[in-house]
A = this chain, B = another copy of it.
Amino acid sequence: MHTALSTDHFSPSGVIVAPGLQSLRIVDEPWGLTQGRTRSHASDEEIFSEGSRAAFFYKVVSGAVRTFKHLSDGRRQIDAFHLPGDLFGIESGDEHRFSAEAVGAATLVSYRRCSFEIQASARGQLGPEIIAAVMRSLERAQSHMMLLGRKSALEKIATFLLDMAKRMAKDDEFDLPMPRIDIADHLGLTIETVSRCLTQLEREGVIRLPASRHVVLRNKAILRRLRA
CB < 8 Å: which of B97, B139, B188, B228 contacts A149?
B188
Q: Name the interface size band of chain A.
A: 35 or more
- Contact between chains at B145 and A79 (CB < 8 Å): yes
**Could you say how many copies of this chain the assembly holds?**
2
Query: Which of A139, A145, A148 gathers most chain B CB within 10 Å?
Result: A145
Segment among A28-36, A102-110, A116-124, A211-219 that sits at the interface with chain B: A116-124
Closest to A71 in B: B228
- Contact between chains at A134 and B145 (CB < 8 Å): no
Knowing A122-B128, A127-B122, A138-B137, say if A145 contacts B144 (CB, 8 Å).
yes
A14 to chain B, nearest CB (A): 25
- Contact between chains at B92 and A150 (CB < 8 Å): no
CA distance A137 to B141 in the complex (A): 10
Knowing A97-B139, A135-B92, say if A150 contacts B71 (CB, 8 Å).
yes
Knowing A134-B134, A139-B97, say if A73 contacts B145 (CB, 8 Å).
no
CA distance A18 to B143 in the complex (A): 45
CA distance A121 to B146 in the complex (A): 28
A208 to chain B, nearest CB (A): 27
Q: Which 5 A-B pairs have the closest CB atoms?
A: A149-B188, A148-B148, A141-B141, A92-B135, A77-B146
Q: A71-B150, A92-B131 are in contact. List 13 more A-B contacts (CB 8 A).
A: A69-B143, A71-B151, A72-B228, A75-B228, A76-B150, A77-B145, A79-B142, A97-B139, A121-B127, A123-B123, A131-B134, A141-B142, A141-B145
**A residues in contact (CB < 8 Å) with B:** 69, 71-73, 75-77, 79, 92, 97-98, 118-123, 127-128, 131-132, 134-135, 137-139, 141-146, 148-151, 185, 187-188, 228
